[in-house]
């Protein structure tokens, strides 16, 4: 049965026409997981009995399948809705210890690490040989003889001969709402990833890839209705910046609502989340400023800091001791470029939930350090706003910290609110400064009315100002889905990173080729996930990322877990050496 399944799986992979899997089966790493799966097969009897045991114990078997039209469309809540605790304050341990205990960064087994490097270098060597022997099927520059080469040689090599092998796993076009499920437009490649063709078919998948944390991405319902109404009344854009003819009452309402949502004095909104970081950090910082930035911070923050001209010091991811060391050194030794004169100001820049690590910032400790060293704190809540805390206000809510303790709250409307754009919130003084100094506020087009309306409606729903408890239910559902899914994954024996309560769940697969293998295999099983590898992550830490949503039902999660369990055996993903919890996990 097992071998049969294995073959069918690959057969489906080719037949379905995703990508010819010979591509990665013949390369170095394909060999690796073939062997692993053979070894796994030896263990199959013991494993199957265990699985049977689990099947009997917990209601994992499910009738759900994304390809069947199911009634589970949208957020339907479990019958036995209980008060689960999205808040961290459960007592017993000190908060720091508890946070530590709930955050997991299991170390990679040594042989996997070696194989990962080996596999990666093999890929590179094969790529180089490939580059020597075959003319790449790429466009070349015409009519520009004698010009200095436009691209770095390594960069183009990497994208042509390493990334191309798994290129089909990204930029996949969809043609539906990115809700709890999505519809993929199937595409095939006849030339190993150089180009793609649409087959004209579609695949309905369970969506574990979009940042739809609270399930507000929908084409029907209140949000969509009000957005459409707004578009019909106010049009699609203003074709002007806020400082010229782009300001309107709706944006003022949005700003005051945002300020109220976070419990701070004032807020300012922008049309793009990325630009909120990239175009506002330069206004806040100058050349004689020190920025202490977490090593896993997002590219938009890094770009913003680079534009600001400030000196950037990086501290180890979520490591308070290292942060303190950097802060101490910064104050004591001053600006080395100016002979050690004191810094004008020091700013700590962190994220609420780190999107690739799934970890939650250790906010209370950072606030204590920031106070001790008189630094300012910039908190990017792109992934945590809406998704964390019992009121959905982000990590300040989650840790029960007064939001005014954070100097600058930043976040996006793209994710939990199902819209687009970003905000900065804080004291009135700060926001007034930004209104007169922010690049985006002065030069960029103002937010489109239907987009702003989506934010307004979803935000009001979360706050319960629409008179229903939908928002509260969504928050609870997400917290519950998160804990259930993470615990079940741990039980399966895969390595996941990050905090127990974070809806961003990276599952480590290490090898570069396995990223492709897992994404493709999951697609054949109608699950859409995101893979991330070098250069987005360290070479050794290729991973699959699941993003949970309040729109997911238990049936959907069970279906996903069942599939992950199966493919975890085939592809050898169960790296964890931690003791597994044999008890069924309660939803």
Partner 1 sequence: MVAIQLFNEIRSIFRNTPTFALVLETLLLIAVIWLLLHRRGGGRRRRLTKEEEDSIIASYEPEPLVEDTDPNHPLLRTRIVQSRVGKRIKVDGHECLNLGSHNYLGFLEDQEILEDACKSLRKYGVGSCGPRGFYGTMDVHLDLEDRIAKFMDLEEAIVYSYGFSTVASAIPAYAKRGDIIYVDEAVNFAIQKGLDASRSTIVFFKHNDVEDLERLLLEQEKRNQKNPKKALKTRRFLVAEGIYMNTGEICPLPDLVALRQKYKLRLFVDESISFGTLGKGGRGVTEHFNVDRDEVDLISAGMEGSMGTIGGFCVGSHFIAEHQRLSGLGYIFSASLPPMLTQAAISALNRFEQNPEIFEQLQSKAKSLHQKFSNFSKLRLRGDALSPVKHLYLAEPAVNFEAELKLLTELADKCISQGVAIVQAAYLQNRERVPVRPSIRIAVNRLLDDADITSAFEVIEKVSQSLL
Find the helix or strand (DSSP H, E) in which 362 lies: none
The minimum distance between CB 69 and partner 1, in angstroms, equals: 17
The minimum distance between CB 368 and partner 1, in angstroms, equals: 14
SS3 label, residue 315: strand
Contacts of 474 (CB under 8 A, 6+ apart): 75, 214, 215, 392, 461, 462, 550
* Of residues 417 and 587, the one with the C-beta less far from partner 1: 417
Rg (CA), the chain: 25
The minimum distance between CB 534 and partner 1, in angstroms, equals: 13
The minimum distance between CB 584 and partner 1, in angstroms, equals: 32
Q: How far apart are CA 394 and CA 388, in angstroms?
A: 5
**HSE (CB half, 13 Å, CA atoms) of 153?**
3
* Of residues 23 and 280, the one with the C-beta less far from partner 1: 280
The minimum distance between CB 236 and partner 1, in angstroms, equals: 5
The minimum distance between CB 461 and partner 1, in angstroms, equals: 13
* Of residues 269 and 492, the one with the C-beta less far from partner 1: 269
* Of residues 376 and 575, the one with the C-beta less far from partner 1: 376
* Of residues 36 and 172, the one with the C-beta less far from partner 1: 172
SS3 label, residue 292: strand
The end-to-end CA distance of the chain, in Å, is: 30
Q: Are the CB atoms for 478 and 398 separated by under 8 Å?
A: no
* Of residues 25 and 563, the one with the C-beta less far from partner 1: 563
* Of residues 28 and 438, the one with the C-beta less far from partner 1: 438
Contacts of 172 (CB under 8 A, 6+ apart): 184, 185, 187, 528
The minimum distance between CB 146 and partner 1, in angstroms, equals: 6
Q: Are the CB atoms for 24 and 517 separated by under 8 Å?
A: yes
The minimum distance between CB 27 and partner 1, in angstroms, equals: 21
Alpha-carbon separation of residue 574 from 36, 424, 501, 545 (angstroms): 11, 41, 22, 15
The minimum distance between CB 43 and partner 1, in angstroms, equals: 34
The minimum distance between CB 159 and partner 1, in angstroms, equals: 5
Contacts of 135 (CB under 8 A, 6+ apart): none
The minimum distance between CB 246 and partner 1, in angstroms, equals: 7
Both tokens assigned to 586: 């309660």
* Of residues 112 and 477, the one with the C-beta less far from partner 1: 477
The minimum distance between CB 312 and partner 1, in angstroms, equals: 14
Kindly tell me the burial class for residue 34, based on how many C-beta atoms sit within 10 Å of its own C-beta (0-12, 13-18, 19 or more): middle
* Of residues 41 and 185, the one with the C-beta less far from partner 1: 185
Q: Are the CB atoms for 256 and 425 separated by under 8 Å?
A: no
Cα–Cα nearest to 366, from 99, 129, 169, 181: 99
* Of residues 109 and 445, the one with the C-beta less far from partner 1: 445
Both tokens assigned to 208: 């574990």
φ and ψ at 256, to 5 degrees?
Answer: -70, -30
Both tokens assigned to 94: 């000190």
In order, the DSSP letters of 447-505 are: PPHHHHHHHHHHHHHHHTTTSSSHHHHHHHHHHHHHHHHHHHHHHHT--BEEETT-SEE
The minimum distance between CB 31 and partner 1, in angstroms, equals: 28
Alpha-carbon separation of residue 173 from 1, 169, 222 (angstroms): 34, 11, 26
* Of residues 53 and 443, the one with the C-beta less far from partner 1: 443
The minimum distance between CB 21 and partner 1, in angstroms, equals: 21
Calculate ∠ Cα 239-242-246, nearest 5°.
40
The b/e string for 368-404 (b: 16+ C-beta within 10 A; e otherwise) is ebbeebebbbbbbbbbbbbbbbbbbbbbbbbbebebe
Cα–Cα nearest to 278, from 459, 412, 454: 412
* Of residues 252 and 580, the one with the C-beta less far from partner 1: 252
Calculate ∠ Cα 242-244-246, nearest 5°.
45
* Of residues 279 and 495, the one with the C-beta less far from partner 1: 279
* Of residues 223 and 494, the one with the C-beta less far from partner 1: 223
The minimum distance between CB 177 and partner 1, in angstroms, equals: 4
Q: How far apart are CA 500 and CA 20, in angstroms?
A: 37
* Of residues 33 and 163, the one with the C-beta less far from partner 1: 163
SS3 label, residue 435: helix
């Amino acid at each position: 049965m097992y071998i049969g399944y294995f073959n069918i799986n690959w057969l489906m992979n080719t037949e379905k026409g995703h990508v010819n899997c010979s591509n990665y089966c013949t390369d170095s790493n394909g060999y690796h997981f073939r062997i692993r799966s053979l070894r796994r097969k030896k263990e199959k009897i013991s494993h199957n009995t265990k699985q049977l045991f689990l099947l009997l114990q917990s209601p994992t078997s499910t009738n759900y399948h994304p390809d069947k039209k199911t009634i589970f469309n949208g957020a339907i809540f479990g019958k036995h809705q209980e008060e689960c605790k999205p808040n961290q304050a459960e007592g017993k341990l000190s908060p720091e210890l508890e946070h530590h205990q709930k955050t997991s960064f299991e170390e990679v087994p040594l042989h996997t690490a070696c194989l990962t490097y080996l596999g990666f270098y093999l890929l590179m060597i094969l790529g180089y040989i490939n580059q020597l022997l075959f003319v790449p099927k790429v466009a070349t520059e015409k009519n520009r003889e004698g010009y200095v080469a436009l691209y770095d040689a390594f960069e183009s090599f990497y994208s042509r001969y390493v990334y191309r092998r798994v290129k089909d796993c990204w930029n996949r076009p969809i043609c539906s709402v990115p809700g709890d499920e999505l519809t993929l437009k199937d595409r095939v490649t006849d030339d190993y990833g150089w180009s793609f063709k649409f087959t004209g078919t579609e695949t309905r998948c369970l969506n574990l890839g979009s940042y739809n944390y609270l399930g507000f991405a929908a084409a029907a319902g209140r949000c969509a209705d009000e957005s459409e109404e707004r578009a019909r009344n106010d049009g699609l854009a203003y074709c002007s910046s806020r400082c010229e003819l782009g300001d309107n009452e709706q944006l003022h309402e949005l700003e005051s609502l945002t300020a109220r949502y976070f419990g701070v004095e004032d807020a300012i909104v922008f049309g793009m989340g990325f630009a909120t970081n990239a175009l506002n950090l330069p206004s806040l910082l100058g050349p004689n400023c020190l920025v202490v930035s977490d090593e896993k911070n997002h590219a938009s923050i890094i770009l913003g800091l680079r534009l600001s001209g400030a000196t950037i010091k990086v501290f180890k991811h979520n490591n308070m001791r290292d942060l303190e060391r950097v802060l101490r050194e910064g104050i004591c030794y001053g600006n080395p470029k100016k002979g050690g004169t004191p810094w004008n100001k020091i700013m700590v820049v962190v994220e609420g939930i780190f999107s690739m690590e799934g970890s939650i910032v250790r906010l209370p400790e950072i606030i204590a350090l920031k106070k001790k060293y008189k630094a300012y704190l910039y908190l990017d809540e792109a992934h945590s706003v809406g998704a964390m805390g019992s009121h959905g206000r982000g990590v300040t809510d989650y840790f029960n910290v007064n939001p005014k303790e954070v100097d600058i709250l930043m976040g996006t409307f793209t994710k939990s609110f199902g819209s687009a754009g970003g905000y900065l919130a804080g004291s009135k003084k700060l926001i007034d400064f930004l209104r007169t100094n922010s690049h985006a506020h002065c030069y960029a087009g103002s937010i489109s009315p239907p987009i702003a309306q989506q934010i307004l409606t979803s935000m009001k729903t979360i706050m319960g100002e629409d008179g229903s408890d939908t928002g509260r239910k969504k928050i609870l559902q997400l917290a519950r889905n998160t804990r259930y899914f993470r615990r079940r994954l741990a039980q399966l024996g895969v390595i996941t990173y990050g905090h127990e309560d974070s809806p961003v769940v990276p599952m480590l697969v290490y090898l570069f080729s396995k990223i492709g293998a897992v994404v493709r295999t999951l697609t054949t099983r109608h699950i859409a996930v995101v893979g991330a590898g070098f250069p987005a992550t360290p070479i050794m830490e290729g991973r699959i990322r699941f993003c949970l949503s309040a729109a997911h039902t238990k049936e959907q999660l069970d279906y996903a877990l069942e599939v992950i369990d199966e493919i975890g055996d085939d592809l050898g993903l169960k790296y964890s050496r931690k003791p597994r919890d044999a008890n069924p996990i309660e939803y």
